[in-house]
Chain A
């Protein structure tokens, strides 16, 4: 007699293995990026409202909680970006003849190197 049993998948599955936890960390850190985009929109709106509104926002950004939030957002965004840079070689599957190009080479060429170049350009723009 067949009576197949369907077993429930644990609700806390994402805490159960290191791989699941890392996956959730990758997904959750995308929230930092979404929040920061909303912040940039607010920043632009204040900029459009005139010098006084913009200066008030800039002053509030120098408070310790604001600095801490920005550092957290930077760490979250960096982690999120790095996980996708490291995943890119799997997705692209670049080959030279029979052999695939080394993952590290593909990750550097498609992710880390452009990231470094853009960062240097932004840093140069901020410091200039």
Chain B
């Protein structure tokens, strides 16, 4: 007999009523083409309009709807109900982030980390060039994978180091720093390597590798972090051996 309903155990936190966070059980219709986000939207439209969560594109591009689904960091627009049949689905806000309300987490810390690595092209001479910067397909291929990040923050929710060291820059910020360091048009690697090599930089990473497993865009931030460790080390030796050399 086909499933007709799914049960959702949803984390609720409403700071204005002063109550402790609880899990609230909802039932939603089952459709084999529905994802967890569809079920949440059904609950919001039909049962409890106060249920709060972020979403936008519904197709794995905007990176807004990340939550913990049965303990795993997922984009809820990519978590099909048909993969969770037989038991209630436990839905929680992304781990390792302060919760603002229900399934919404605070982005402040992440945005500060992202900004600190200056994830944009830095030129030493800021005057606009007379023509575009040329780049070969091989040069583009070096960083393309790391440029696919949609800032969904699933990698932060999967990273046990972030839990222990909240100031750790974290997977996405380091992957984006590495992406620009690999870009032949960029000249800001020395600035970013200083941030990456700092106490809050990439040496907190112990290469657990879960960030890469949960990444919906196959960015492989764990690889980016390890490669950036090599670059940071090379930079340190360069400064140690040639202290007067210009970067």
Contact = CB atoms under 8 A, between A and B. Distances in A.
A5 B98 contact: yes
B21 interface: yes
A95 B226 contact: no
Interface in A1-48: 1-7, 9, 13-14, 16-17, 19-20, 23, 27
B209 interface: yes
Interface residues of A, number: 24
B71 A2 contact: no
A90 interface: yes
Contact of B15 (A2, A13, A91, A95): A2
Contacts of B206: 23, 27
Interface stretch (B54-62, B136-144, B184-192, B234-242): B136-144
A93 interface: yes
Interface in A50-96: 87, 90-91, 93, 95
Nearest to A14: B160
A7 B99 contact: yes
Given A4-B99, A7-B99, A16 B71 contact: yes
Residue from A3, A7, A87, A95 with most neighbouring chain B CB atoms (10 Å): A7
B96 A9 contact: yes
B98 A6 contact: yes
B230 interface: yes
B213 interface: yes
B18 to A, nearest CB: 9
Given A4-B106, A5-B13, A13 B99 contact: no
Given A3-B15, A9-B95, A23-B207, 20 more contacts: A1-B16, A4-B98, A4-B100, A4-B106, A6-B98, A9-B164, A17-B72, A19-B210, A19-B213, A23-B206, A23-B208, A87-B226, A90-B220, A90-B223, A90-B227, A91-B227, A93-B227, A95-B142, A97-B141, A98-B140
Interface of A: 1-7, 9, 13-14, 16-17, 19-20, 23, 27, 87, 90-91, 93, 95, 97-99
9 contacts: A1-B15, A2-B100, A9-B163, A17-B210, A19-B209, A91-B227, A93-B227, A95-B138, A98-B138
Interface of B: 13, 15-16, 21, 71-72, 93, 95-96, 98-100, 106, 137-138, 140-142, 160, 163-164, 206-210, 213, 220, 222-223, 226-227, 229-230
